[in-house]
Chains A and B, each alone.
Chain A
């Protein structure tokens, strides 16, 4: 699933950091897992807004994953404030895993 963005260059920079944030159970990063839906930039307010999901609602690792996504984006865009929002519409599905992710899982 492609990440929706209003700034491709900055989005790629943000995703580079997010490739280091893994779902600890699966061992796959949040980007290849398809958890990141949107990454938008508000230049006037100097704000990064990330819309993401989790593999399951009330996932025991959810708090940790969201915090680490926030920390990663904050580290990539130090002059911006970071807002990470969760959505379960659409709910995450296995079809959202990237080709690289499937190869990592052995499929």
Chain B
């Protein structure tokens, strides 16, 4: 009992690696919301509209992926119980993605599938490869293997698949690589990213962090393995349906499997909540838990869409657009808005107070951002999200504009709080 570690397991990833990802993501969110206002009309047309594609990629790559990459460089050591393999690879990943994403977004906005799209896609692909190598090497050096790290690794493989397919689709505009037009492959590209990358990663990381933040005794590795199996089976069935048959009704099978996986994850979160030691739950965790329920909205909408496609003709463009909006501006944004302020303040606190807290009481990480601003951000976000989603469903342009303005305010408040945290100066009470 009590053997001391000769090499203490306390070295964590440098804040210098992580913070650029957060700042980049915050700016991307603001840009995406401004684009919602300037290109709101595109949401009354088609999901393959250049401006919709530009907004989607700003959200998926600039916002979602960048913040997840940043946070995971800090959190992967907690998940795998080992050190991050290389800070240099993390920097490489950041610079490649940071250069590639604007090129790709510009290319979509202008619908120029030439050099900007190709270079953008290549750079993003290289960024993901650098991240994947870092994850593999970190995992190989770790002494423990657990379900959370398998979630992260598998999610990164799906991201690699998504980005590779995206790049092939870009090249398909120049060379005839694919037998059918790009629109046909869009659902596969989108769902490999949404389900394979975002959902797997959010569940893998969330299942570790939510009990930690709640100080909950609850763990259930078996349930997490079942969820892992359901999501990957759903994706593989979807791939099979996609290549072997084109029967639209069959897509309800993977959709139902994803619904089941989500319900099981909600059960997991509920159990963690019930068995928590910390009675008071802070706003950041509340909004993150809300996001899990918000995932049910697009899944239910997807099932309705499948039924509608079976029994009526036409593409149901507005429902498809609402579905995508609910994923990127709903579920994904809600979880990021909450989790940012459960991770970034700690990273900055570590930098500022590492050697100061024994000298006197220091502000806690949760005191490093403005809670009133956070609350207002939560309100404008929910109102903006609801108005814009209703605007797409009803094709009501004024609702789109009102929603976009509220979402811009949300993004501005989010950026303000991010800057407040990043620029925090030491204060001893």
List A residues at the B interface (Cβ < 8 Å): 17, 20-22, 24-27, 37-38, 51, 54-64, 66-69, 71-72, 75, 85-90, 94, 97, 102, 105-107
Contacts and interface: CB of A to CB of B under 8 A. Distances in A.
Given A25-B365, A61-B346, A64-B350, A17 B8 contact: no
Nearest to A74: B358
A69 B353 CA distance: 13
A64 B353 contact: yes
Which of B2, B3, B212, B213 has the most chain A CB atoms inside 10 A of its CB?
B2
Contacts of A22: 357, 364
A103 B239 CA distance: 52
Contact of A24 (B1, B4, B78, B346): B346
Given A60-B75, A64-B354, A106-B280, 13 more contacts: A24-B365, A38-B2, A55-B212, A58-B78, A59-B12, A63-B11, A63-B350, A64-B350, A64-B353, A88-B5, A90-B1, A105-B278, A105-B279
Nearest to B342: A25
B82 interface: yes
Contacts of B74: 60
B1 A67 contact: no
Interface in B1-20: 1-5, 8-13
Nearest to B6: A85
A25 B364 CA distance: 8
Contact of B357 (A54, A60, A64, A106): A64
A60 B12 contact: yes
Contacts of A105: 215, 277-279
B278 A86 contact: no
Contacts of B77: 58, 60
Given A60-B12, A94-B217, A105-B277, A87 B3 contact: yes
Which of A27, A51, A60, A89 has the most chain B CB atoms inside 10 A of its CB?
A60
A49 B82 CA distance: 25
A80 B9 CA distance: 25
Nearest to B345: A24
A85 to B, nearest CB: 3
A39 B279 CA distance: 31
Nearest to B354: A64
B358 A27 contact: no
Given A64-B350, A64-B354, A56 B10 contact: no
B360 interface: yes
A36 to B, nearest CB: 12
B277 A68 contact: no
A76 to B, nearest CB: 10
Which of B1, B4, B347, B365 has the most chain A CB atoms inside 10 A of its CB?
B4
Contacts, number: 117
A85 B9 contact: no
B355 A107 contact: no
18 contacts: A21-B357, A54-B10, A58-B9, A58-B81, A60-B12, A60-B13, A62-B9, A63-B350, A64-B349, A64-B353, A85-B4, A86-B9, A87-B2, A87-B4, A89-B2, A89-B3, A105-B277, A107-B279
B189 interface: no
B359 A71 contact: yes
Interface residues of B, number: 43
Interface in B323-353: 346-347, 349-350, 353
A29 to B, nearest CB: 10
A107 B361 CA distance: 24
A17 B81 contact: no
A38 B2 CA distance: 9
B83 interface: yes
A56 B9 CA distance: 10
Nearest to A75: B358
Give the 3 A-B CB pairs with smallest separation, nearest first.
A106-B279, A85-B4, A71-B358
Contacts of A97: 277
Contacts of B83: 58
B2 A37 contact: yes
B210 to A, nearest CB: 13
A63 B10 contact: yes
Interface string B68-84: 00000011011011110
Contacts of B215: 26, 94, 105
Contacts of A90: 1
B367 to A, nearest CB: 10
Contacts of A62: 9-10, 12
Nearest to A72: B358
Contact of A63 (B12, B212, B280, B362): B12
Given A72-B358, A75-B358, A56 B212 contact: yes
A81 to B, nearest CB: 16
Given A85-B8, A89-B2, A60 B347 contact: yes
Nearest to A27: B364
